[in-house]
Amino acid sequence: MLEFLFTSDAIMALITLTFLEIILGIDNIVFISIAANKLPEHQRNKVTNIGLLLAMVQRIILLFFVSFLVSLKEPFYTFETSWLHIAISWQAIILFGGGLFLIYKSTSEIHEKVESPKHDEKELKGKKIKSLSQAIVQILIIDFIFSIDSILTAVGMTNGLHENHNYNLLLMIIAVVISIGIMIGFANPIRKFIDTHPSMQLLGLSFLILIGFMLITEAAHLSHTKLFGNEVGAIPKGYLYFAIAFSLFVEFLSFRVNKKNP
């Protein structure tokens, strides 16, 4: 297992996934902070840390559940016509549904952030929180909502890296633990950086569209989908890593240029 974690594919997946988990966790940090700020000052740090730890626990539990479903590779129904062949399994359903969800969620998030960036924050600020337990319940609900796209992203980035799903699961858990640890330690600096450079979060959401499309094609490939006699192939993850790395490099150059020309 340790040998797998030190392979180039696993390291690239871990770095990329940790980065995306942090970017996806920014909204989570913002909403947890809003809930925490309704409490007395001496309780705010405690609630923020509890909220992020609960996010980690929830994501790990969901990872076990989703990974179990993804491991169910055997087809339970085969659909076949003169022009289409699909061997449907739970793995294909989860990947296909997850891909559609990521494309929908990221597109709607990008639209919302451009058109009405403070809508959800205003809605949460309007809700009353009077005690520590109420804040924790509110944070649990927020964590669950934000865990779904995080989990699907993790599955998309690691699916197929190793034939043993336990290895992929371990990689996902490590990425989640590292990202939550970084967010606990650097929540405020990360939030300020994203506020100063909102394009980073939009970039992260656009990566989800790529991952969503990759999940859909992978679902088609794993279900041996044939369209007019042509089998759908999987997209190599190296293409995804290159697209993400190139986009981040361009964004980094943009930061440098803006600093030199304020």
Q: What is the mean pLDDT of residues 149-156?
A: 81
pLDDT at site 144: 78
State yes or no: pLDDT of 2 exceeds 80.
no
State yes or no: pLDDT of 195 exceeds 80.
no
pTM: 0.74
Domain boundaries, the chain: 2-260
pLDDT at site 203: 84
State yes or no: pLDDT of 130 exceeds 70.
no
Answer yes or no: are the C-beta atoms of 200 and 251 closer than 8 Å. Answer: yes
Position 198 confidence tier, pLDDT thresholds 50, 70, 90: confident
Lowest model confidence (mean pLDDT) among 7-16, 79-88, 181-190: 181-190
